[in-house]
A and B are shown apart, each in its own frame.
Chain A
Amino acid sequence: MRRAFGVPLLLALSSALGLGAALVADGVWDALSGLLLALPVAAIAWGWLRRS
């Protein structure tokens, strides 16, 4: 169970960070937010490209 949720939990936390960062700060944090919220999309692309 912990193994199954390892990466998903990490992505949830990084997403939450991304959602909050641009809300409480400006400038470079805006770009960081965009990057963090793009990670889930990257994970999906990675899974799709590696399909067996």
Chain B
Amino acid sequence: MRQGTVRAWQAVHTWTSLVCTVFLLLLCLTGLPLIFHHEIDDALGHDRWRPANPDGPLMSYDAVLATALKARPGEVPVFMSFDDDRPVVNVTTAPRPDSPGGEMHFASFDRTSGEEAPQVADGGVMDFILQLHTDMFLGLPGMLFLGAMGLAFAAAVVSGVVLYAPFMQKLPFGAVRASRSPRAKWLDLHNLMGVVTVAWALTVGLTGVVNTLATPIVDHWKNTELAALTKAYAGQGVVAPTASLDAAVATARQALPGMELQFVAFPGGAYSTAHHYAVFFHGDKPLTKHLITPALIDARTGELTAVRPMPWYANALSISQPLHFGDYGGLALKLAWAALDLVTIVVTGSGLYLWVARRKVRARQAAPAVA
């Protein structure tokens, strides 16, 4: 590579890295406990709860919904989701179907008794860390900004790979010149750690970027796919759901056999139309359980309106979640994820050190000219 080309790539690497350094450190530091979100929640008391009647009959979804609405007079249902590992149904209600997230109320119900099940004990700390990680408490602009930082990170990684060859051609793989100077030692470590983690770093970085686009992706789906499916109902207002929820779920299950129930979105909310229960399922295989498919059931008549697989960009979002969180392969994968996260922190920190050290050297070289 010609010297001019190397310098150009060095400039790209320096500036894309510097731009995202602080935010990358924030993301890596908050990301680290988030990898073990489930374990931390469990340790803080989440799984000490037991159902009131473990062998008793399960309440129907309609009965749970009625119980939930009685506790929140004047509110309407927005979502209902179903815990995988305990007989609990979570009901989200709000003053209006399209109320913003801040006005929504989330409650969990024991299907064996109708009593409220406790929320996660210290949801506070992990929720705080999650919020910091996803949008720094700045909502959509915060998410999109972090998405831009993710793109800068990806550019930094790619430009780093390009620079690896000219910088490493005289050294064997894994060489770390610790006895020469701190700068040489850290340059070699930075290059080694960076180049061996490229695949993981690009995967986590780019899936992170896709995750920051969740809101625009869902909005686009609503404006195109969902709108196309329900053109016949255009112009009518939000309906009060009167059809039996259990019957709606049963009808949806018939249309999508072999899949598992994930959640139900009520009419007027973010994931449905003004007239339907949107019953979301996920697949039952390791890969397909990350991909969701909705069935639209008319919320007044209980009839199936439509089933259609989600479009490519929605599936890209679905797949970007496990690949970003690293929670899909058990404890072994989570431990490797955490180790790679720590490596990324050191790569970022050493990069900053190398930049500062280089500036100092250049300043000293320029000094004699300033007489």
Contacts and interface: CB of A to CB of B under 8 A. Distances in A.
A23 B323 contact: yes
B286 A40 contact: no
Contacts of B200: 15, 19, 37, 40
Place the interface of chain A in its size category: 35 or more
Nearest to B179: A52
Given A1-B169, A25-B286, A34-B333, A51 B192 contact: no
B196 A43 contact: yes
A26 B164 contact: no
A30 B336 CA distance: 12
Interface in A8-44: 8, 11-13, 15-16, 18-19, 21-26, 29-31, 33-35, 37-38, 40-41, 43-44
A36 B347 CA distance: 20
B218 interface: no
Main secondary structure of the interface of B (DSSP, over half): helix
A23 B339 CA distance: 19
Contacts of A19: 199-200, 203, 323
Nearest to A17: B199
A44 B330 contact: no
A23 B287 contact: yes
Nearest to B286: A26
Main secondary structure of the interface of A (DSSP, over half): helix
Nearest to B168: A4
Interface in B276-298: 286-287, 290
7 contacts: A7-B196, A16-B199, A30-B329, A34-B332, A38-B339, A40-B197, A51-B185
The 10 residue pairs across chains A and B that have the minimum distance between CB atoms: A34-B332, A22-B329, A47-B174, A15-B199, A37-B336, A51-B178, A40-B196, A51-B176, A30-B330, A30-B329
B195 to A, nearest CB: 4
B35 interface: no
Contact of B173 (A8, A15, A24, A34): A8
Interface in B328-361: 328-337, 339-340, 343
Given A8-B198, A51-B185, A43 B174 contact: yes
A18 B334 CA distance: 12
Nearest to B290: A23
Contacts of B332: 30-31, 33-35
* Residue from B165, B169, B193, B196 whose CB has the most chain A CB atoms within 10 Å: B196
A41 B332 CA distance: 13
Contacts of B203: 19
A18 B337 CA distance: 11
A6 B176 CA distance: 17
B207 to A, nearest CB: 10
Contacts of B328: 22-23
A23 B272 CA distance: 28
A31 B329 CA distance: 7
